């Protein structure tokens, strides 16, 4: 009887998986490009998570305030009950040819890590003030979101 009880307890303990399973992030790139407002948008270098329509509208107003971006942002309708936005802004650059983008993601039980890379032109580039940005959406999550730059 003791053997049966020990075997049963062992099976129960080892069959329980307390680790949170990875979720399907469904990362969807929405827009990537450059702002050309010479800093008039007043957007600093940053990585941000947008979880509400109000925050998205406020950021979008800043992005399009000068009317000078490389990509017109689509009339984006996000259901913030289902998805959240991941936004990256690089610092202002004095030449063209710069970009920023998410290249991979990792999940742990308590956080999601987005790894991003900044690209710079090699050799000659046009002399123009630019500020690279990247905008994507993912499935809504309660996990902490962390950003790491890959150099």
pTM: 0.80
- Tokens representing 148 are 């790491």
131 forms beta bridges with 35
Residues 6+ apart with CB under 8 A from 53: 78, 80
Given a cut of 70, whether residue 114 has pLDDT beyond it is: yes
Q: What is the pLDDT of residue 22?
A: 61
Residues 6+ apart with CB under 8 A from 26: 138, 139
Residues 5-58 pLDDT 10s:
445 444 454 454 445 566 667 899 998 999 888 888 899 999 999 999 999 989
Angle at 79 between CA 102 and CA 108, to 5 degrees: 45
Q: What mean pLDDT value characterizes the chain?
A: 84
81, 86, 99, 88: which is closest to 28 by C-alpha? 86
Residues 51-80 pLDDT 10s:
999 999 899 888 888 776 666 665 678 899
Q: What are phi and psi of 48, to 5 degrees?
A: -140, 160
Cα–Cα distance, 65 to 68 (Å, whole number): 8
Q: What is the pLDDT of residue 88?
A: 98
Confidence of residue 139 (pLDDT cuts 50, 70, 90): very high
């Amino acid at each position: 009887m003791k053997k049966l009880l020990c075997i049963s307890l062992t099976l129960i303990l080892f069959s329980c998986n307390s680790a949170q399973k990875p979720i399907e992030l469904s990362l969807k790139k929405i827009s990537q490009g450059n702002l050309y407002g010479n800093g008039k948008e007043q957007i600093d270098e940053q990585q941000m998570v947008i979880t509400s329509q109000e925050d998205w509208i406020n950021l979008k107003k800043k992005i399009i305030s000068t009317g000078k971006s490389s990509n017109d942002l689509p009339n984006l309708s996000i259901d913030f009950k289902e998805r959240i936005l991941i936004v990256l802004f690089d610092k202002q650059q004095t030449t063209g040819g710069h970009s920023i983008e998410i290249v991979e993601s990792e999940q742990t039980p308590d956080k999601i890590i987005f790894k991003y890379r900044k690209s710079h032109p090699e050799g000659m580039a046009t002399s123009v003030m630019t500020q690279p940005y990247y905008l994507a959406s993912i499935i809504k999550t309660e996990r902490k979101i962390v950003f790491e730059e890959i150099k």
